[in-house]
Amino acid sequence: MIDVAIVGGGVVGCMIARKLSRYQLKVVLVEKEDDVASGTSKANSAVIHAGYDAKPGTLKAKLNVQGNPLYDEICRELDVPFKRIGSLVVALNEEEVNVLEELMERGKNNGVPNLEIINREKLLEMEPNITSESRAALYAPTAGIICPYELTIALAENACLNGVDIKLNSPVIGIRAESGGGLSVETPGEIIHTRYVINAAGLFADEISRMAGAEDYSITPRKGEYLIFDRRFGDIVNRVIFPSPTKISKGILVCPTVDGNFFIGPNSNDVREKDDVSVTLQGIEEIVRGARKLIPRLPLMHVIASFAGLRAVSNTNDFVIGASKKVRGFINIGGIQSPGLSAAPAITEMVVDILKEEGLELKEKSNYNPGRPQINKFRLFNNEEKKELIRRDPVYGRVVCRCETVTEGEIIDAIRRPLGARSLDAVKRRTRAGMGRCQGGFCSPRVMAILARELGIDPLEVTKCGSGSEMLKGRTKEFIETGGVKSAK
Ligand SMILES: Cc1cc2nc3c(=O)[nH]c(=O)nc-3n(C[C@H](O)[C@H](O)[C@H](O)COP(=O)(O)OP(=O)(O)OC[C@H]3O[C@@H](n4cnc5c(N)ncnc54)[C@H](O)[C@@H]3O)c2cc1C
């Protein structure tokens, strides 16, 4: 019998898995995709918000403010880059200056430290590329930036190392309360018998709750589109720059990434499908229009990629967190829209308290390890360190991704690590191979060859992101021999 089964390998599920892995428990995490961080946690603004935005009294406000300061220790332990660069909400007219005052008041009520409204001169000094139309800004020094999928993968690696069984490609298709107590969680491959289920299924948490016969709530996907720019322009802004917020969104921001790029976005539009992450021309026009209000001279020629993410908006418009009153042992964590990433550490603490209240005994393990094996990020090393690494292991001397300077050694390590990469996207999220200016045009075939070799599979079996996304159709010579296009279909 498992103690806790977690449904969903996003940042919330993985952070809870890691936290529980410090106790003497049997924990399983089931994820429907071929990797963790495949849902909302892979495509968002990556901001650890200060916490002035959410309405006082909501879970969103409370858990954001509690979660923010916990990031320093988590990132230090897992060696995940986190930069507390601060954020600025920019007012362009008198009305918006009033909004800043409201936000500052709200922030103080929420318990956000060190908020300050700065004047135009100071703002331009801090951010020389910002529009001269700006009047003032709310400065929140505690806001930070992170890479959300690197964080999620690091959490999962650590949970894995500490004994959590992470089952990928395992969609939950049924949950039932068992007559003798406990719950059974069904995936196509097996039935997991468990004392507790934690529903951290993101956009699908409402469906999982319904499947278990627990509380009924609904989740609407709200799409946000983005454009990301070449690293050459990464210093166009120094902090996270927000416009004055609207009723439904924090607005289109201009924001540096921890990896040295910058992005603009997101917009905010409700969509029908929970997998609609398409980027539209209309969406691009909307975010460019929005971002230009803050930074008029955007280097649009140097956009390297577009992407979209879906917010999981609940009908309560707040996080839905709590033990089910209907199904014993079932715990909901639904509607984790923004600031869910910022709040994740505090959500985790809250869920652990709920588990305790529900009768789970938590005994610390003596051999818990808070870290994960070191990653040799070649491009960040100085020349001496590079030489030493290559001397120890010559595969680090072979650069596979030229744009991001990712070596064969790093790709092999990504495949062999705990919860190793099994697809092109999984390698990309772990190493950045394919994230640069050419977007994998040069390195993808090489990464595919390394994956095939390391996994002992045929190159035709290498996928982009799991079964059904095979990258190759056939061998060129067979293709010619069998008559070309027609027979290749
Ligand atoms: C446009 C946008 C911008 C955002 N910006 C920020 C920000 O700057 N700061 C911030 O704090 N937050 C932000 N957020 C919110 C943040 O991204 C989310 O709160 C967070 O990622 C939610 O994590 P999660 O683990 O709940 O969900 P997810 O990451 O979606 O994880 C849920 C997982 O469950 C899996 N799953 C679903 N159904 C099943 C099933 N049946 N069986 C097994 N597994 C299943 C999914 O595949 C997925 O991996 C933003 C969100 C969006 C969309």
pLDDT at 314 exceeding the cut of 90: yes
Q: Give the pLDDT band (50/70/90) at residue 489.
A: very low
Q: What is the per-residue pLDDT across 223-258, written as a single tens digit (0 to 9) for each?
A: 999 999 999 999 999 999 999 987 777 899 999 999
The answer to whether the CB of 38 is under 6 A from ligand 1 is yes
pLDDT in tens, 353-391: 999 999 999 999 999 999 999 999 999 999 999 999 999
Ligand 1 neighbourhood includes 185 CB (under 6 angstroms): no
The best mutation among 29, 32, 44 to test binding of ligand 1, ranked by most ligand atoms within 8 Å of the C-beta, falls on 44
What's the pLDDT at 488?
A: 44
> Tell me, what amino acid is at 236?
I
Average pLDDT, the chain: 96
CA of 307 to the centre of ligand 1 (A): 15
d(CA 147, CA 435): 13
> Which ligand 1 atom sits closest to the C-alpha of 30?
43
Strand partners, 176: 184
**pLDDT over threshold 80, residue 486:** no
Beta-strand relationship, 174-177 and 320-323: unpaired
The answer to whether residues 69 and 142 touch, using CB atoms and an 8 Å cutoff, is yes
Question: pLDDT digit string (tens) for 170-214?
Answer: 999 999 999 989 999 999 989 999 999 999 999 999 999 999 999
d(CA 36, CA 219): 21
Options 18, 22, 32, 49, the catalytic residue = 49
The predicted-structure confidence for 120-158, as pLDDT tens digits, reads as follows: 999 999 999 999 999 999 999 999 999 999 999 999 999
- State the distance between the two ends of the chain, measured CA to CA, in whole angstroms: 47
Percent of the chain with pLDDT over 90: 94
Ligand 1, residue 268: give the atom nearest the CA.
1
Q: In this structure, what token pair is assigned to residue 231? A: 């690293």
Give backbone dihedrals phi and psi of 363, rounded to 5 degrees, phi first: -110, 125
Q: For position 49, what pLDDT does the model report?
A: 98
In this prediction, residue 487 carries a pLDDT of 47
Buried b (16+ CB within 10 A) or exposed e, 298-314: beeeebbbbbbbbbbbb
Residue 106, pLDDT > 80, answer yes
- CB distance 47 to ligand 1 below 6 Å: yes
For the chain, helix, strand, coil in percent to 5 are 35, 20, 40
- The finding on whether 162 has its CB within 6 A of some atom of ligand 1 is no
Q: Report the nearest-CA residue for atom 37 of ligand 1.
A: 201
> Is the pLDDT score of 402 beyond 70?
yes
Q: Is the CB of 414 under 6 A from ligand 1?
A: no
The pLDDT of residue 479: 75
| Strand ranges, E, within 349-430 | 399-401, 406-407
For the Cβ of 335 lying below 6 angstroms from any atom of ligand 1, the answer is no
Q: Is the CB of 46 under 6 A from ligand 1?
A: yes
Atom of ligand 1 nearest to the CA of 341: 11
Residue 330 has pLDDT above 70, yes or no: yes
Residue 485: pLDDT band by 50, 70, 90 thresholds? Answer: low
Q: How far is the CA of 259 from the centre of ligand 1 (A)?
A: 21
Residue 302 known to be catalytic: no
Burial of 410-449, coded b for 16+ CB within 10 Å and e otherwise, reads bbbbbbebebbbbbbbbbbbbbbbbbbbeebebbbebbbe
CA-proximal residue: ligand 1, atom 14 (nearest) = 338
> How many angstroms separate the CA atoms of 474 and 194, rounded?
43
d(CA 299, CA 311): 28
What is the predicted pLDDT for the residue at 477? 81
Distance 56 CA to ligand 1 centre (A): 23
Residues of the chain with pLDDT > 70: what percent? 99
Query: Alpha-carbon distance 421 to 413, whole Å?
Result: 9
Average pLDDT on 327-341 reads 97
Q: Which helix (H) or strand (E) holds 390?
A: helix 383-392
Q: What is the mean pLDDT of residues 324-339?
A: 97
Say if ligand 1 is within 6 A of residue 52 CB.
no
CA 136, CA 118: separation in Å to the nearest integer?
Answer: 6
Closest ligand 1 atom number to CA of residue 8: 34
Q: What is the mean pLDDT of residues 419-441?
A: 97
Q: Which atom of ligand 1 is nearest to the CA of 311?
A: 53
Show the tokens assigned to 450: 């390394």
pLDDT in the model for residue 481: 72
Strand partners, 401: 406
CB-based contacts of 146, cutoff 8 Å, min separation 6 = 46, 48, 71, 75, 80, 81, 82, 83, 258, 341
The rounded Å distance from CA 173 to ligand 1 centre is: 19
**What residue's CA is closest to ligand 1, atom 35?**
8
Q: Quick check: CB of 266 below 6 Å from ligand 1?
A: yes
